[in-house]
Homo-oligomer: A and B are copies of this chain.
Amino acid sequence: MSSMKEAIDRVKSLTEKLKTSHEAHSSNNSTENGPKSTPVQPYRAKIEKLSGEVVDSNPYSRLMALQRMGIVKDYENIRKKTVAIVGVGGVGSVVAEMLTRCGIGKLILFDYDKVEIANMNRLFYQPHQSGLSKVDAARDTLIHVNPDVEIETHNFNITTVDNFKTFVDRISCVDNFEARLAVNTACNEENQIWIESGVSENAVSGHIQYIEPGKTACFGCVPPLVVASNIDERTLKREGVCAASLPTTMAVVAGFLVMNALKFLLNFGEVSGYVGYNALVDFFPRQAMLPNPQCTDRFCVQRQKENEKVAEPEKVEEIPEEEIVHEENEWGIVCVDESQPVEKPKDNSNSVAEGLKFAYEAPEPQEELPEEIVVPKDSLEELMKKLKSLQ
């Protein structure tokens, strides 16, 4: 370094390089500088048209092979699809990653939570993302994994938001009742198909449920159907607020959910109505559920009436998850264990497939009852019998 000017230029140049270096790595560097989300630079330009070419550099070769093998007629159609994911936690984040890797057109992510180290027992989020909002952390990873997917994020609580008009398809991966009801209400109003999912608090069971307004039971038609635990209820300790979770159960439920969504979006295989997962014994109860004509959601009832007008008996028969068993059933709950031959039940009481149970008792539909009748809160079956006797 011979002159002062040269030294000053060198300092300038090095300062600039250091600044560039810090900027380039800032999103990978949040453990040192505190949580900060800077959208990652995509590793490649967007791909205009999907190719089935079998080369190591083609991210779509194994997906386009589905078309060559005759599983999916037009795989590229996936790029025209938008899926909204309400809740990007243990299930939703894996759903988002699966759809991103499958090359979905657009994802709309909703969550109001932050990534915590306590989430590290599930797939997807990384420790250096702790403190970031889940939607920002998810977007950073997903854009990097597949720059072709458009990611829209909303960092708020959906139960306080009623604008669902831009949704095309919905997937629910929420962890509370209020959020499910909010999605249900919006989907009934918008006549929007969605898939509900849930994982039990003891981490060893879960389910997915396909909900088509007016055609299947909505989330408000009947109490939520959950996989029965084989565990003695007396040994199942519930004190404390921390639910257990396992990456296995959540990824299995995410896999079922995305597979069902792909079958629906790309029109292949059979879309399932309800698939349960009991991880303790690897049992998978299935169930079809018809809508309840006395559902308290007025849009659900409206969709049912619209559906009655257009539906013909032959058409209904085409959809296996809607097989009608209890025609006299005023609750409209249909319980078909699809893994078994369908048997006509001896009475009109509602029974659910082996391995399933309702999450709680059905609420009393008081407006339908004469004032002097008091319905005790006993089993759903009892309640149904009493309702029946009133007719």
**Chain A residues close to B by CB (< 8 Å):** 1, 4, 7-8, 10-11, 14-15, 17-18, 21-22, 24-25, 28-29, 31, 43-44, 52, 54-63, 65-66, 68-71, 94, 97-98, 101-103, 116-118, 120-123, 126-128, 144-146, 201-204, 231, 235-238, 240-249, 251-252, 254-256, 258-260, 262-263, 268-270, 272, 275, 279-284, 286, 339
Contact = CB atoms under 8 A, between A and B. Distances in A.
Contacts of A98: 123, 247-248, 251
Contacts of A279: 259, 269
A59 B118 contact: yes
A356 to B, nearest CB: 14
A97 B247 contact: yes
Contacts of A61: 118, 242
Contacts of A231: 70-71
A261 B101 CA distance: 27
Contacts of A58: 117-118
Contacts of A236: 69-70
A18 B14 contact: yes
Contact of A247 (B56, B102, B118): B102
Contact of A240 (B25, B43, B54, B203): B54
Most B CB within 10 A of own CB, among A8, A14, A69: A69
A59 to B, nearest CB: 4
Contact of A21 (B25, B144, B269, B339): B25
Given A1-B7, A56-B117, 13 more contacts: A7-B8, A62-B118, A62-B242, A65-B203, A69-B202, A69-B236, A69-B238, A71-B202, A246-B259, A251-B252, A252-B255, A259-B279, A259-B282
